[in-house]
Amino acid sequence: MPTLHWRDTQARKFVQQGYWEPRSLNEHLQEWSHRFGPRIALVEGEQQLSYFDFEQQVCCLAGGLADLGIQCGDRVLLQLPNGIAFASSFFALLRLGAWPILAMPAHREREIQALCELAEPTAYIVAERFLGYDYRPMAERQLGRQASLRHLIIAGKPSNAGVPLSALNGEIRRPAVVDPLDTALLLLSGGTTGTPKLIPRSHADYAYNAKASARLCGFAGDSVYLAALPIAHNFPLACPGLIGTLSMGGKVVFALTPGADEAFGLIAREGVTHTALVPSLVKLWLQAREWDKSDLSSLRLLQVGGARLPAELAAQVTPILGCALQQVFGMAEGLLCYTRLDDPQQVVLNTQGRPLSEADEVRLISADGQPVGDGQTGELIVRGPYTIHGYYRAEAHNQQVFDAEGFYHSGDLARWSPDGNLVVEGRLKEQINRAGEKIAAAEIEQLLREHPQIQDAAVIALADKRLGERLCACVIVRGDQTLELTDLRQHFQALGLPRHKWPDQLETLHSWPLTSIGKLDKRQLQQRFQDEAASRAAYLECCVPIREKPQELAAALVKHYLPDDLTLYEHNGEWALGIGSAACIRLLGNQLQLSIAEQRRQWPAEDLPEALGKALGELPFQDWRAYGTACFELARRLHGLPVQDGSRPPLRLDIPAVDIRLRDGTALIRALQPEALASAKARLQELDAKPLAPIRTGHAQPNVATHDAALYRGQVASAVAEIRQGRYQKLILSRKVPLKGNLDLVASYRAGRQANTPARSFIHHQGDFACVGFSPETVVEVSAQGLVGTQPLAGTRALGDSVEKEAQLRDELYSDPKEIAEHAVSVKLAFEELQAICEPQQLGVSEFMAVSRRGSVQHLSSRLRGQLRDGCNAWHAFAALFPAVTASGIPKREALQAIAAHEGAPRDLYSGCVMICDSHGMLDAALVLRTAFQHRDQAWVQAGAGIVSLSLPERELEETREKLASIAPYVHLAEPQLATVRQTAEVQP
Ligand code: OOB
């Protein structure tokens, strides 16, 4: 720790030279309110607050807090998501001279308890819930445990112990008299030790931090700042963030989450000019731009910091988002380095800029404490007008990281580029920087060592394409015990650790690699396990422009690659084609088997989502996408009914050797082998240049009108009787109509796709089985971020042959109680199924009883959305929703039994799904309806109708005809077979 004498000299200098103003942050707020009064200061959803109203709100809240007894010098734990409640509470505490401790919403019991023990807060202000997590039980436990904690203040509905934040509306009193050089707030440090560190920032230093940043970043009265990162973090709070924007009279817009789905809408709606992100989010925003065309033209500057920004990613920001980029190297301890708005592009793309203040003293030193030579890399040490000179209540640690001259030793390794900018090269400190979240290796190691099966542990950071770095736990297990990553993650969850602190990778060893002096050699571990990941084969990729419509080029490619096994899958404007199989996962009996070339591994499949998680985790590929199918009969297993496996596995996923993705104007080609990539590229370009044959209407003419009509009517009648006996509520019975010949997959696809508006479309060819379909709905959609969606369709009418007829039939659909009841029960069931796997607060019906046009019919359709809860993967969502209620019935188990009894033969892929999933956790499964099938020499189309107690056999038969009319007219038969089969009798499949 520096001597007091030194600190005084520095402080005097900063005051004299005007870096530190003689005003508290509360006095700044009063000044802003005075200057900018009626302008909008804050926006949260539909709510807006002017500067004047905001200051009033702060005064009243401060009054309410004072009534509770909160006073100058008290510490108050503040854990709120982005929003006005955060801003009001923060400034209200400053007004009282109480110190907010800025906890992140992601923090859970362990962190909160450690903060309470360290800082002894008198009150805890916390959200009722956020992203599905109910904070109240945790907060109440703290209240019971921590003697200093007297008040629990809940933003939202309190349970037993708390008071609602909204009720704290006291008389406006004079603000506390505080010394601007005193502590104003406590920021959390990423830390390197097992215990949390708090960073005391003073009024004067923090005001300077925010205002100087706002000036440097060109903020003014017309600036609109989007607070997308969690506002308790220094970056969005004061660099320039919330405080810097307010200091200039600008407007701050709060986003609850930093995802592109929320942020893009806010940018367009509010005319956002500035925002800040960490690199991993930049990547997601750039990807989202492929399909989200929101108007982002107001955006002027994107600040990126918190972790290393790869130059390739940096280079895409301006071309794709249309705004300038600024790199920020910062730390909650103080120092901020920014690239300048007028820096040349090469500086912005490749460096982390220069210190904010001319009074920042930044030095780079070698291991022996000496300054490094020009251009050499060394540890960055710093002191200056807004860098702390000690952590709060951490004397011993302060001795280690602050030197006698008051320099903070950051543990970051950096060099100066020839043009005088800083380039961050790495770090000395044992920390994992996971998507910008800093995690102390020591904290995780300590927790791992407490695990009963673990004898010793070391935690290392490994480079990761998506996260920047991932957390790898290396452990020595006790005796001959085994430990799986999923077990470990469950253990961490049970301990109350936030998601970002759970290990991403687990490596078990028998002994540690040691350095020459016998210390654990983490560098060796890093090399070994980084290589392990690197030994996973990476797809080779290339992007080429295309001229042809993607659906047509996709069909041409399928035609070229057949009879290879392949799957074409259309979703969200992309036609994805997986060809061949480099690895395959199949459900065989009670085992899930992974086969790669001659090698096989098996997992018991009782818990299918877990087994799939494990098998997919073993795939020796990076950044893979799998293509697959699930047969309807998989549902019997999921519902505990006896199963008889058919000729094909009920679930199968293939990792393709060649993976082609087509969108308007571009094709991405990926292959595991260079030759395959080159030949796919050549083939694609050749096909793109060649005009395609005209699309013809189909000529298969299956007997949709009368085939098995009497049989079907009889089945419907007996199902209605069973429903009336109360055996089940709803049942979907289907009817197969044979085709006289073999399917021409490509011609059928082109004709059918041109005439249809499906939710998904596909061609699947695997061995002696093939199908082509135009799916009206998805069974489940899960994004890499764990957002789950499903779109039940139930209730059907034909489209008719004119606009008037369509409208008339739509009105009929909306007023038919049978169709409405049928739809409502389907939505209710989907909701209940999602409840089991989603965060309760995040689950909702985002669209109810709209009408979707699909081919020649219209359906009542609703959309449900949720966020997967911790511990659930995409396969939990799949297992919860499969089979689609639209194609099975209600309740599902009874419906499955009745379908088997009435239909007599397995449905196989009909009403199962064709799907894709990937290494990031994405899953998209299309319900297999409106599909033509081929198995060996038999081909057919199949459709069903939903039977309820009010069903009439003739009307349900008619509904199967209407649905078959969406596919049957487009089916083409392959020419040679057409000739031979025409002469034979009708073949029953
Ligand atoms: C910011 O603050 P913290 O306290 O969460 O983390 C600080 C650490 C730095 O010591 C460094 O290790 C790393 O994060 N870091 C970067 C970086 N910016 C921060 N590493 C590489 N490149 C960068 N651009 O992360 C923070 C605080 C204010 C503004 C921006 C970031």
CA separation for the pair 246, 216 (Å, rounded): 15
Residues 6+ apart with CB under 8 A from 853: 757, 799
Q: Is the Cβ atom of 306 under 6 angstroms away from ligand 1? A: yes
CB 188 within 8 A of CB 103: yes
Give Cα 374 distance to the centre of its chain: 43
What topology is assigned to 430-535 in CATH?
Answer: GMP Synthetase; Chain A, domain 3 (3.30.300)
Mean pLDDT of 634-653: 89
* Pairing, β 408-416 against β 378-383: antiparallel
**Type of residue found at 120:** E
CB 242 within 8 A of CB 32: no
**Residue 842's pLDDT is what?**
76
Å from CA of 305 to ligand 1 middle: 6
Q: Is the Cβ atom of 307 under 6 angstroms away from ligand 1? A: yes
Q: Is the Cβ atom of 331 under 6 angstroms away from ligand 1? A: yes
Phi, psi of 25 (to 5 degrees): -65, -30
- Nearest residue (by CA) to ligand 1, atom 20, is 307
Q: Is the Cβ atom of 188 under 6 angstroms away from ligand 1? A: no
Model confidence over 582-617: pLDDT tens digits? 999 999 999 999 999 888 999 999 999 999 998 998
Tokens 């489209």 appear where? Answer: 799
Among candidate residues 536, 450, 464, 530, the one with its CA nearest the CA of residue 500:
464
Among candidate residues 628, 655, 533, 625, the one with its CA nearest the CA of residue 922:
625
10 Å Cβ neighbour count for 395?
Answer: 9
**Residue 4's pLDDT is what?**
58
- Nearest residue (by CA) to ligand 1, atom 12, is 412
Q: Is the Cβ atom of 190 under 6 angstroms away from ligand 1? A: yes
Model confidence over 373-406: pLDDT tens digits? 999 999 999 999 999 999 999 999 999 999 999 9
Most confident of 47-56, 127-136, 519-528, 854-863: 47-56
Mean pLDDT of 916-923: 92
CB 862 within 8 A of CB 848: yes
DSSP string computed for 598-611:
TEEEEEE-SSHHHH
Q: Is the Cβ atom of 328 under 6 angstroms away from ligand 1? A: yes
Mean pLDDT of the chain: 92
Q: Is the Cβ atom of 438 under 6 angstroms away from ligand 1? A: yes
Q: What percent of the chain has pLDDT over 70?
A: 98
**Distance linking the first and last C-alpha atoms of the chain:** 84
**Residue 645's pLDDT is what?**
66
Å from CA of 531 to ligand 1 middle: 26
Q: Is the Cβ atom of 335 under 6 angstroms away from ligand 1? A: no
The answer to whether residue 511 scores a pLDDT higher than 60 is yes
10 Å Cβ neighbour count for 622?
Answer: 14
Listing from the earlier edge strand, what are the strands of the sheet with 324-331? 47-50, 40-44, 251-254, 224-227, 274-277, 301-305, 324-331, 334-338, 354-355
Å from CA of 237 to ligand 1 middle: 14
**Type of residue found at 341:** L
Position with higher pLDDT, 985 vs 92: 92
**Residue 408's pLDDT is what?**
97
Å from CA of 285 to ligand 1 middle: 20
The answer to whether residue 986 scores a pLDDT higher than 50 is no
CB 592 within 8 A of CB 605: yes
The answer to whether residue 464 scores a pLDDT higher than 70 is yes
Q: Is the Cβ atom of 412 under 6 angstroms away from ligand 1? A: yes
CA separation for the pair 474, 801 (Å, rounded): 66
Q: Is the Cβ atom of 401 under 6 angstroms away from ligand 1? A: no
The answer to whether residue 968 scores a pLDDT higher than 60 is yes
DSSP string computed for 748-787:
HHHHHHHH---SEEEEEEETTEEEEEEESSEEEEE-TT-E
Residues 6+ apart with CB under 8 A from 84: 42, 44, 47, 49, 54, 57, 254
Among candidate residues 714, 734, 718, the one with its CA nearest the CA of residue 905:
734
Å from CA of 335 to ligand 1 middle: 9
The answer to whether residue 745 scores a pLDDT higher than 50 is yes
Say what the pTM is. 0.68
Å from CA of 592 to ligand 1 middle: 43
**Residue 976's pLDDT is what?**
57
Q: Is the Cβ atom of 906 under 6 angstroms away from ligand 1? A: no
The answer to whether residue 988 scores a pLDDT higher than 90 is no
CB 486 within 8 A of CB 471: no
Model confidence over 712-723: pLDDT tens digits? 999 999 999 999
Q: Is the Cβ atom of 308 under 6 angstroms away from ligand 1? A: yes
What topology is assigned to 1-14+360-427 in CATH?
Answer: Luciferase; domain 3 (2.30.38)
Q: Which atom of ligand 1 is nearest to the CA of 189?
A: 4
Position with higher pLDDT, 811 vs 485: 811
Model confidence over 756-815: pLDDT tens digits? 889 999 999 999 999 999 999 999 999 877 889 998 887 888 888 889 999 998 898 888
Mean pLDDT of 941-948: 94
CB 244 within 8 A of CB 207: no
The answer to whether residue 978 scores a pLDDT higher than 70 is no
Cite the beta strand spans of 234-323 per DSSP E: 251-254, 274-277, 301-305
**Residue 821's pLDDT is what?**
84
**Type of residue found at 829:** L
Q: Which atom of ligand 1 is nearest to the CA of 187?
A: 4
Residues 6+ apart with CB under 8 A from 346: none
Q: Is the Cβ atom of 379 under 6 angstroms away from ligand 1? A: no
Å from CA of 331 to ligand 1 middle: 5
The answer to whether residue 989 scores a pLDDT higher than 60 is no
Model confidence over 526-570: pLDDT tens digits? 988 987 766 778 888 888 899 999 999 999 999 999 999 999 999
Query: With b meaning 16 or more CB within 10 Å and e meaning fewer, what string describes 110-149?
Result: bbbbebbebbebbbbbbbbbbbbbbbbebbbebbeebeeb
* Biggest CA-to-CA distance, the chain: 105
The answer to whether residue 892 scores a pLDDT higher than 70 is yes
Model confidence over 861-879: pLDDT tens digits? 899 989 888 778 899 999 9
Q: What percent of the chain has pLDDT over 90?
A: 76
**Residue 914's pLDDT is what?**
98
| Domain residue extents for the chain | 1-14+360-427, 430-535
**Residue 533's pLDDT is what?**
67
Å from CA of 336 to ligand 1 middle: 9
Name the residue of 206, 328, 331 whose CB sits within 8 Å of the most ligand 1 atoms, as the mutation to test its pocket: 331
Domains 1-14+360-427 and 430-535 share a fold: no
Residue 680, CB half-sphere, CA atoms under 13 Å: how many?
30
CA separation for the pair 237, 897 (Å, rounded): 58
Å from CA of 307 to ligand 1 middle: 6
Å from CA of 330 to ligand 1 middle: 4
Å from CA of 130 to ligand 1 middle: 25
- Nearest residue (by CA) to ligand 1, atom 30, is 330
**Residue 554's pLDDT is what?**
98
Lowest mean pLDDT among 433-447, 786-800, 880-894: 786-800
Å from CA of 852 to ligand 1 middle: 48
The answer to whether residue 164 scores a pLDDT higher than 80 is yes
Most confident of 197-211, 481-495, 773-787: 197-211
Mean pLDDT of 434-454: 94
Name the residue of 225, 233, 329, 422 whose CB sits within 8 Å of the most ligand 1 atoms, as the mutation to test its pocket: 329
Mean pLDDT of 930-934: 97
Confidence of residue 982 (pLDDT cuts 50, 70, 90): very low
The answer to whether residue 302 scores a pLDDT higher than 50 is yes
Mean pLDDT of 735-757: 94
Q: Which atom of ligand 1 is nearest to the CA of 427?
A: 12
Å from CA of 329 to ligand 1 middle: 5
- Nearest residue (by CA) to ligand 1, atom 9, is 331
Is the Cα torsion angle 815, 816, 819, 821 positive or negative in sign?
positive
| Tokens (6 digits) for 543 | 């992007």
Å from CA of 155 to ligand 1 middle: 30
